[in-house]
Structure 1
Amino acid sequence: MNIDRLVFAFAGTVILLSLALSHWHSPYWLWLTAFVGANMLQAAFSGFCPLAKMLKGLGKKSGAAFE
């Protein structure tokens, strides 16, 4: 799995987990959902994603997710 797909999978997992936690625990978990969304938006414009940098450092290969 390449970096693009791992970032999408991680973001989707965190969003779904935070939505579940906001439903069963506290609505304050929605702040985590907002943070992930804001980070995805800034990454779309700036090209900087902390998770992608970390995965690249771990030796994962980059790729185009929608080829």
Structure 2
Amino acid sequence: MTVERYIRVMAGFFVMLSLALGYAGSPIFVSEWFLALTAFAGFNLFQSGITGFCPPGILFKKLGVPEGNGSCSGGKCN
């Protein structure tokens, strides 16, 4: 997997987790304040798309995760 895919997986995980912990109908509800984590993940994705600065991307690169070529061909991203 590439840095971009790890970032997508991490963002998706945080959104799902924060919704599960922040939605009152969830069996693992803790507090509605966990929905702020959803907003933070969305804001981080938004700003990194505009600025190109992504702290998790820097961390993954330092951990040796390979970078993708940034293109998707045939519906599958590298």
Asked if residue 16 in structure 1 is aligned to residue 16 in structure 2, the reply is yes
Following TM superposition, where does structure 1 have runs of at least 4 consecutive aligned residues deviating by more than 3 angstroms? none
Where 2:47 maps in the other structure, the secondary structure is: helix
- Give the TM-score of the pair, scaled to structure 1: 0.94
Matched with 1:39 is 44
Structure richer in helix, relative to its length: 1
Change in Cα spacing, 1:40 to 1:33, as seen in structure 2 (3 Å) is: same
- Give the structure, 1 or 2, with the largest relative contact order (CA under 8 Å, sep 6 or more): 1
- C-alpha distance in 2, partners of 1:46/1:5? 18
How many residues align? The count is 67
- Give the TM-score of the pair, scaled to structure 2: 0.81
Which segments of 5 or more consecutive residues in structure 1 lack a partner in the other structure?
none
Change in Cα spacing, 1:7 to 1:14, as seen in structure 2 (3 Å) is: same
Task: Give the AA of the match of 2:12.
Answer: G
Superposition CA RMSD, Å: 1.1
Q: Is the radius of gyration larger for structure 1 or structure 2?
A: 2
Asked if residue 52 in structure 1 is aligned to residue 32 in structure 2, the reply is no
- C-alpha distance in 1, partners of 2:46/2:20? 22
Structure richer in strand, relative to its length: 2
Give aligned-pair identity as a percent. Answer: 39
CA positional deviation for 1:65: 6.3
